[in-house]
Amino acid sequence: MKRTLLCFGFLLSVMLLEAQEDFGTKKIIILPESDLIIVGSTNVNKFDCDFKIDLISKPMIVKFTQREEHLIFNDLKLQLEITGFDCGNKRMNSDFQNLLLGEEHPEIIIELDRIESISSEYIKANITVNLAGITKAYHLPVIIKEDHFIGKFKMNIRDFGLEPPTKALGLIEVDEEIEVQFDLKVSR
């Protein structure tokens, strides 16, 4: 029994040391010249809601573990205040905030879980998005150009328990699919 406990303790300490070897940290800043836009449409026209990048343009410490061609991140989140989106006018901003249940859930949280190197110009990112209190996973290709990370992904707002609104007595209907587009410039 004593020998079994010693072996177990040795294996546990080796596993902990091995896991710590691959652990890394990096300080990054998302620069103000970055873009993050939610694009939607109605049966009449399109709309763009630009996020005010200065709300997330602060130093972040990124913690990660490297496993073969993957980087696994520990708690790397972008917390996007719903009120930080500008859709072009006050009325559209208000409608957008109401659609996303901004009073009950004031943030969209995008968490980068893992990336996989595809080539020198592409990575595959695994992210989770928490919107209106519901979390969904997405896998998306991301282009890397110098310190820019460029990509887009589509989301169905019904997946988050949200109902597309109608306006003008039902004559204008918002599509249930929106697209998140980003061009994040990062300082390392």
**Cα distances (Å, whole numbers) of residue 24 to 71, 72, 122, 146:** 10, 10, 21, 21
Instruction: Please choose, from the candidates 72, 76, 79, the residue with its C-alpha nearest in 3D space to the C-alpha of residue 27.
Output: 76
Q: What pLDDT score was predicted for residue 80?
A: 97
Locate 150 and state its tokens.
């460029």
Q: How far apart are the first and last CA of the chain?
A: 51
Task: Give the mean pLDDT per block of 10 residues along the chain (188 residues).
Answer: 36 40 83 96 90 95 90 94 96 92 96 94 96 97 94 96 77 88 93
Can you list the domains of the chain with their CATH numbers? 23-187 (2.40.128.110)
Q: What pLDDT score was predicted for residue 20?
A: 44
Q: What pLDDT score was predicted for residue 164?
A: 86
**Residue 52 burial (C-beta neighbours within 10 Å; 0-12, 13-18, 19+):** middle
| Contact between residue 94 and residue 87 where contact means Cβ atoms under 8 Å apart | no
Q: What is the pTM of this model?
A: 0.83
Q: What pLDDT score was predicted for residue 6?
A: 32
